[in-house]
Amino acid sequence: MNLKFYFDYLGKCNQMLKELVQEKGGSTGLRIYFWIDYLWAAMRHGCLIRHYVYGDFYKMSSFERKRSLTYPRICKIFKKCNDPKYIHLLESKRDFNLHFSKFVKRDWLYNREASYDEFREFVFGHDSIIVKPLELCEGHGIFRVDNVRTEAAVKELYNRLNDAPYMLEECIVPDKGMEFGNKSVNTIKIDTLLKKDGEVFVFKPALRVGVGDAVVDNYGSGGCVYDVDLELGIVMCPSFSKDNKQHRKHPGTDITMIGYQIPHWQEVINSVTEAAKMLPQCRFIGWDVAITPDGIDLIEGNHNLDYELMEFQGIHRGWWHELNKYI
């Protein structure tokens, strides 16, 4: 890292701490306090500035800070639990779909392994398909194609995708209980840690809901994330989103989310528990699960879980203390 990186980061810290002081109606003295406290939190716990401000680290006691899952701490879990030789089974959408085929119910096609005739048959066989670039992540570059019905349109799409690896998937039809007036397929994000005794620790379930015309629901693309009770499958609190605003109602539809019951909840828990045991070389995985009228459809598994979603939002935080017992 060069000096520019550090100067840029300190500038970001200064701006965010300034906004925090203004929000609190504080003075220069409060700003100095936050600076000193943040520098100590960064050195002692590895706290990043977003965690300090948006994750309420500045509010935490010394006891709470020791239990909080900061970025260096989650990296320690990644390193200890996930074998790099097997990460491709999670990173590669093709490899993931093959390895976890028992839980992947949708039809799919990998363009680099398909002939033109196979590509044509797949596209003609589905009213709508989702196209995912395999070289991007966090929902970037994903687009939807509807009603391709002519040979010319198929050739145009085939040529458009011929320069890079893409996954084509039939559009999932969600369960009625997972529809919130948006265009994306809303999913459950839920994490697992395979303990050394072979049992699976399931934790931090959340409902991810897209907003407006976005074809993906993740919060990095503007979606909302709602904490869900692990036992009951009920939304427990307002959302967390990239704009750092909380929403008690789904933006754009005014559907009240707190208390909302997720359908097929026990099947969600059972499925990720079984899936976690299918890849013991990667013990720490975050799952994305779609819920259809016929049950669950496993979308993907992530080896590098988003610690912001684990620690910045929801009722239950302090995951370092909990997870450290099992790694």
Same domain, 88 and 11: no
- Burial code of 165-193, b = ≥16 C-beta within 10 A, e = fewer? bbbbbbbbebbeebebebebbbbbbbbbb
Please tell me whether residues 132 and 259 are part of one structural domain.
no
Residue 71 covered by a domain: no
Domain residues for the domain of 228 are: 78-103+174-323
Indicate if 166 and 181 belong to the same structural domain.
Answer: no
**Region of poorest pLDDT, from 3-17, 188-202, 234-248, 277-291:** 234-248
Residues 240, 307 share a domain: yes
Arithmetic mean of pLDDT, 293-303? 94
Q: What is the mean pLDDT of residues 87-102?
A: 95
Q: Report residue 172 CA to chain centroid gap.
A: 18
Mean pLDDT of 82-87: 97
Q: Tell me: do 133 and 228 sit in the same domain.
A: no
* DSSP helix/strand/coil, 124: helix
Q: Do 229 and 287 fall into the same domain?
A: yes
Residue 218 and residue 142 share a domain? no
Judgement on whether residues 181 and 166 belong to the same structural domain of the protein: no
**Sign of dihedral through CA atoms 134, 136, 138, 139?**
negative
pLDDT tens by residue, 124-146 = 999 999 999 987 776 778 889 99
On whether the CB atoms of residues 94 and 167 are closer than 8 A, the answer is yes
Q: Domain total for the chain?
A: 3
| Local confidence band at 106 (pLDDT 50, 70, 90 cut-offs) | very high
Tokens of 325: 């017992």
Instruction: Clarify whether residues 202 and 82 are in a common domain.
Output: yes
pTM comes to 0.88
Q: Is residue 186 part of a domain?
A: yes
Determine, yes or no, domain membership for 32: yes
DSSP 102-121: GG--S-EEEGGG--HHHHHH
Would you place residue 274 in the very low, low, confident or very high pLDDT band (cuts 50, 70, 90)? very high
Asked whether the predicted pLDDT for residue 243 surpasses 90, the reply is: no
Q: Of 154, 170, 186, which residue sits at a domain end?
A: 170
Question: Is 73 part of a structural domain of the chain?
Answer: no
Mark whether 194 and 208 lie in a shared domain: yes
- In percent, the amount of the chain with pLDDT more than 70 equals 90
The CATH code of the domain that includes 87 is 3.30.470.20
- Rounded-to-integer distance, Cα 251 and Cα 257, Å: 10
Task: Confirm if 45 and 74 have CB atoms less than 8 A apart.
Answer: no
List of residues 6+ apart from 235 with CB closer than 8 A: 207, 226, 227, 228, 229, 257, 258, 259, 260, 262
Domain contains 70: no
Examine the pLDDT at 220 and tell me if it is beyond 60: no
> Which residues touch 215 (CB under 8 Å, ≥6 apart)?
130, 142, 143, 144, 183, 184
Same-domain status, 92 and 236? yes
**Dist. CA 109–CA 168, nearest whole Å:** 5
Please tell me the predicted confidence (pLDDT) of residue 138.
Answer: 67
pLDDT of residue 211: 66
Q: Are residues 194 and 239 in the same domain?
A: yes
The answer to whether position 276 is within a domain reads: yes
Q: So what's the pLDDT on residue 252? A: 62
